[in-house]
Structure 1
């Protein structure tokens, strides 16, 4: 299933980048008209293309950093990255179980605020609880802390 998600992300990124290229081409065409309207539209399309490209690149980079942290936990034989929670028939974690897991992760972060692994698990707990904003904040904190923590390999 992870391969399917990676393929979908790659496909989505590729389609978006193709659309950005089409926008850039249209922007250049508009700029070449040498009319006030054409130049205005060309500048607007250029700004939109640059902003979209920047956002896509940042999202892909963010996803790759999360994947690196997950693989690092796996390499350290930290089985906590495979949390087993009850699921509904549709595959979603019930709200009560998500809230309990998030509370456990918050307690772990409070006990060990300098451990990137706890922040990574908290990011996952927030995501399971469908709190994307806090998940992103926790993952950023985990990434920052992981950069200052040496990689350990199990014996």
Structure 2
């Protein structure tokens, strides 16, 4: 969490600097420079919106994790690993099939999607893991 806050503060400085430059450009009164300045102000708005969405997702995921932990149903990372620490791919794929079947059987269960997200992550598919976690969050 500390790392996320530090990165967010650094992005805040970036947003402030870009917004300042955009406003300065708009104040020149030159039509082309004003247009560029207005376009530059879109970047800080996007950054702030994306950061806010990520923090909302993170807090919701933490609440889900707390609830699963209290129920003793938090995903357990017990997959076999190589001496280098990499998860055994065959074991991850076998575990994945179980969680995928559970999510297909209960498509409205945030718990099933939460578990599926961590199965995707163990299988190395970060993009689908994130999508499943977002789905779990929206169902929560």
Same fold (TM over 0.5): yes
Shift of 1:15: 1.0
Q: For residue 31 of structure 1, what is the aligned residue in structure 2?
A: 26
Structure 1 moving runs of 4+ over 6 Å: none
2:125: which partner in 1? 131
For residues 17 and 25 of structure 1, the distance between their equivalents in structure 2, rounded to whole angstroms, comes to 12
Distance 1:63 1:92 in 2: 26
Task: Give the Å deviation of 1:63.
Answer: 2.0
Give SS of 1:106's match: helix
Q: How many residues align?
A: 140
User: CA contact under 8 A between 2:57 and 2:137: conserved in structure 1?
Assistant: no
Change in CA separation of 1:63 and 1:114 when aligned onto 2, cut-off 3 Å: same
Cα shift at 1:11: 1.2
Kindly indicate whether the alpha-carbon contact (under 8 Å) linking 1:93 and 1:128 is maintained by their aligned counterparts in 2.
Answer: yes
* RMSD between aligned residues: 1.8
Contact map agreement 1:70 1:81 (CA 8 A) in 2: no
Question: Hey, what's the Cα distance between the residues in 2 that align with 1:144 and 1:46?
Answer: 30
Which residue does the alignment assign to 2:8?
13
Q: Equivalent of 2:85, from 86, 91, 101?
A: 91
Q: Distance in 1 between matches of 2:84 and 2:8?
A: 27
Which runs of 5 or more structure 1 residues have no equivalent in the other structure? 1-5, 147-155
Residue by residue over 1:19-63, the C-alpha shift from the partner in whole angstroms, topping out at 9 and shown as x without a partner, is 111111111111111112321221121011111221122122222
